[in-house]
Amino acid sequence: MAIIHDAEKRTFTIHTQNTTYQMQVDPYGYLLHLYYGRKAAGCMDWLLTVADRGLSGSPYDAADIRGYSLDYLPQEFPVQGTGDYRSPMLIVKDINDAFGCELRYAGYEIAPGKYSLQGLPAVYADSENDHAETLKVFLEDKRLGLHITLLYGVLPDLDIITRSVIVSNRGEKPFRIEKLQSACLDLPFGDFDLITFCGRHAMERQPERCALTHGSHVIGSRRGMSSHQYNPMMILADHTADERSGRCWSMQFVYSGGFKAEAERDQYNQTRIQMGLAEEKFSYPLAPGEELVSPEVIMSYSGEGLAKLSHNLHRCIRKHVCRGKYRDAVRPVLLNSWEAFYFDFDGDGIVRLAKEAKELGIDLLVMDDGWFGKRNSDFLALGDWTANEEKLGCSLAELISRVNEAGVKFGIWIEPEMVNENSDLFRAHPDWAMVIPGKKPVLGRNQLVLDLSREEVREWMYKAVCSVLDQGNIEYLKWDYNRSIADVFSHTSDDQGKVLYDYMIGLYSVLERLNARYPDVLIEGCSGGGGRFDAGMLYYTPQIWCSDNTDAVDRLIIQYGTSFGYPVSAVGAHVSTCPNHQNGRVTPLKTRAAVAMNGTFGYELDPGKMTEEEKEEVCGQIEAFRKDAALIQNGDYYRLSDPVSDNMGAWAYVSEDKSQVLLCAVIIESRGNMPAMYVKADGLEPGAMYRIEEDGRVCAADAMMDMGLPLPQPGEDAHSYVYHLMKI
């Protein structure tokens, strides 16, 4: 069993393949956290310390125990109002507008299999094949009638523990939830670094590592989406932890809306990390009989460095978050029309792209923004999801058939969560947009956000998307979302404090219905590129456009940061033209392909503007990708350099049996009379010998992992190297 309850010690112990997590109900009914680390045995309450902490308050019924205080004891679900002045997971306001609650232990359940969450994405598994189990721990505040269910999902083979919280009102009076977090980890001792993933549009998920000092380090999103600025993931690590060694703990939010993640070092050098819903614009009322479910947090621990931690998360997301036909399938190589045409195209242009795509060996042609309504710029027509037959020169159904007749699949772009003021939809239903009465709205990309907390808006959206997909053989849908939410107001809600949460529940319900109706359609998520790149969206869209920035050198950093928490199979990546449309950089076509293959792989350019030599090279790239696609998608991924600080980006994919390795590197800047550059391999079989297919060299695995593989002089900026290593 993965979960063990010791009635005598009042402990709950969760064992995975390599880790142990333990909590204990203390004599006063408080649930204390004891341990999360390498696999260990026995009751670990000996880790607790009790001392007189001066001005740290005590619970009323423990007042005679001098030194007992929740202000410093490690807790499993800390709440506001107990004398713990560190950041709480839960803040409740009662009918008298008074803050504070006091939760005591009320029971538990252990069940086979992994729990699911009503209306929310969550890790899935089963007890038979995955040995998954669920622990439910119940807490209650009798004064308020507040009942808490702490959910723990355990995937022991992956070293994964998930957490969620259900808040229920079982009393007779309403109360409000002012803050709700899903997971907390209290570590009573240690000196750590915090790794977060910050950025901006076109430069998302750049890793930032800093020493965790006294006070709180907070990241999050107030934007109504998980955001370009901060990804909903963080890692706590030993100062000395690197890719191959050291302790590290991760939290990753399975949610696509606003979030808050905190790391705090307190007065006694204890560390608390926690993650959950954003507090801003959140104040959720619960009437008697109602409940609120927090989104899930995925947790993992590695005592063997960051690479092992990433492998745990990659396997979890690849096999237990992503779903459907394309979860395990190699994705089609696609050509997207955006950087080829932007808004300036017609049906004949799309068909020309399809024919040229077929000649190159591309599988799928995607018609991006500009095909509907009067959409010739981003100022109008969002919401009018009817094909512009005058622009296309035919119906959408006829265009789909023409593309299929050219020998490729057809895909289409859509942004159904948004509306332009200059649109038939807005003129018919202005109250469907989130606009505060009497206030001029904040515009983003000249558009407003539709209110998905409303059932009639959700129903319209579902039918609108179906009306597009039912036009013909559409096999790919790019689902975009190009602005943040600034003005939060629903014209039909009885409480504005719940609108943002209800918006996400509404979006997920539409996506769930579409997945059920169109199981063979590959949906790729997008939000101005990587603004909603999170595990929540991956539950519905098995890949997400990683960034609007397609420059290969910038993508080295963006995809490097992304790799800490997300598998390669989730990363939408394309080869684009040069000079690059985002930053003007010129990089070799070979390098652009090597970097794009570190993802789902595709193209974003006009083949008609390529030379014959370039077309021949592209044909070779596609053939090479298909040869390596299974290894790229399913192999263990290793980061072999840090492109943020090094003059090189390098990575490798290693097959499960370690017999095949694909090692890639890009030297970013070529310099005069350069010193030799080496790339250290990782994940090889110790003691084995490997042959490099490209040049016939036979190298010892241990030497390549210890000293590294020398790279030839680049001779140009952004020169790439691709090596296939075969065990002999």
Catalytically annotated residues:
534, 614
DSSP codes joined into one string, 34-67: EEEEE---S--GGG------TT----GGGTTSTT
Evaluate whether 658 touches 707 at the Cβ level (below 8 Å).
no
Collapsing DSSP states into helix, strand and coil, what is residue 539? Answer: coil
Spatial neighbors of 710 by CB under 8 A, at least 6 apart, are 676, 677, 678
Tokens of 213: 């000092």
Taken in order 357, 358, 359, 361, is the CA torsion positive or negative? positive
Closest CA to 197 of 652, 566, 508, 725: 566
For 23, 328, 520, the CA distances from 43, given in Å and listed in that order, are 9, 41, 50
d(CA 111, CA 3): 9
Collapsing DSSP states into helix, strand and coil, what is residue 333? Answer: coil
d(CA 96, CA 103): 19
For 142, 345, 485, 510, the CA distances from 417, given in Å and listed in that order, are 41, 24, 11, 11
The interaxial angle of helices 589-596 and 612-634, nearest 10 deg, is 20
Closest CA to 569 of 233, 315, 364, 335: 315
Is the link from the previous residue into 579 a cis peptide, with omega within 30 of 0? Answer: yes
Evaluate whether 123 touches 138 at the Cβ level (below 8 Å).
no
User: Tokens 């950025």 appear where?
Assistant: 199
Count CB neighbours of 518 within 10 A: 18
Q: Which residues pair with 584 in a beta bridge?
A: none
Closest CA to 141 of 180, 90, 178, 101: 101
Evaluate whether 303 touches 37 at the Cβ level (below 8 Å).
yes
DSSP codes joined into one string, 605-654: S-GGGS-HHHHHHHHHHHHHHHHHHHHHHHSEEEE-S-TTTSSEEEEEEE
Closest CA to 81 of 65, 55, 100: 100
φ/ψ of 475, rounded to 5, equals: -115, 0
> Which is it for strands 689-692 and 698-700: parallel, antiparallel or unpaired?
antiparallel
Closest CA to 117 of 90, 157, 149: 149
For 311, 355, 390, 725, the CA distances from 660, given in Å and listed in that order, are 17, 35, 52, 6
DSSP E strands: which ranges in 60-201?
A: 90-93, 104-112, 133-141, 146-155, 160-169, 175-187, 192-200
AA identity, residue 661: V
Evaluate whether 423 touches 382 at the Cβ level (below 8 Å).
yes
d(CA 664, CA 555): 14
| Widest pairwise Cα distance in the chain | 86
